[in-house]
Amino acid sequence: MSKLYIVPTPIGNLEDMTFRAIRVLKEVDLVLAEDTRTSKFLFNHFEITTPLRSYHMHNEHKVVNSIVEQIAQAENGFALISDAGTPAISDPGFLLVRECIANDLELETLPGATAFVPALVNSGFPCDKFHFEGFLPQKKGRQKRWGELAEFAETLVLYESPYRIVKLLNEVKDILGEDTQVSLSRELSKKFEENLRGTPKELLEKFRSKEPKGEFVVVIRKKEK
């Protein structure tokens, strides 16, 4: 069966793994994983014995063509997973999906976990229309992109690391305004899930006494013009 399965994995709580995802990962010939060490924990928990192979942002350009050739010959297809969430959403996957389509290989994408959806809904901000940005450029092009985002009317959703969250909040304050409303979500679905809401200044004050930890989903409510 010449098919690639895109399989979401839990963003924290293993109870969010679906029965269908477990079945697919057990049935395919090979699973491509962002980090095989992380995936082995998941596999051991659900008693999945399918072979794993690394597929990540540092090697995807080099191996994508050979993987497509192997998928074409696979009896039960391949599956692609990331460390957490849905592949290709701020994670490797787009290149492989595109090449499979170009080579007329069948794709099947399973629905499942992704971090920004619960964070967006939990923010209490309008979510009938929103813009998902993912990670901003770390250096080159960052200010230019902020200038573009400032023109968007929709709720904005970004990802940010604990090492740059203070910088991002200062940028929100300076570019979008001090009274901009922000919702920060971290450790989603885990024991210590935390959701913080307030202006950039209020949130920055919290981090003066408490060091930021964990990856953040940042939801920004744009001011009505």
Residue-range domain boundaries for the chain? 3-109, 116-221
Buried b (16+ CB within 10 A) or exposed e, 206-224: eeeeeebebbbbbbbbbee
Structure tokens belonging to residue 50: 């399918």
Rg (the chain; Cα; Å):
19
Residue-wise DSSP of 95-151: HHHHHHHHTT-EEEEPP---THHHHHHHHTS--SSEEEEEEPPSSTTHHHHHHHHTT
Q: What is the overall mean pLDDT for the chain? A: 95
**Domain 3-109 maps to which CATH number in 3.40.50.1970, 2.40.10.10, 3.40.1010.10, 3.30.1300.10?**
3.40.1010.10
Task: Record the pTM.
Answer: 0.91
Task: Report whether pLDDT(224) > 80.
Answer: no
Residue 1, pLDDT score: 63
Give the tens place of pLDDT for each residue, 95-153. 999 999 999 999 999 999 999 999 999 999 999 999 999 999 998 999 999 999 999 99
Banded model confidence at residue 170, pLDDT cuts 50, 70, 90:
very high
Place of tokens 């992704």: 114
Structure tokens belonging to residue 143: 């200010």
Residue 225, pLDDT score: 55
Task: Report whether pLDDT(219) > 70.
Answer: yes
Mean pLDDT of 157-174: 97
Q: What percent of the chain clears pLDDT 70, i.e. is strictly above it?
A: 98
Q: What percent of the chain clears pLDDT 90, i.e. is strictly above it?
A: 91
- CATH H superfamily, domain 116-221: Tetrapyrrole methylase, C-terminal domain (3.30.950.10)
Nearest 5°: CA angle at 118, between 112 and 124?
155
Task: Report whether pLDDT(88) > 90.
Answer: yes
134 beta partners: 158
Residue 202, pLDDT score: 97
30 beta partners: 78
Determine the residue type at 70. Q
Residue 222, pLDDT score: 78
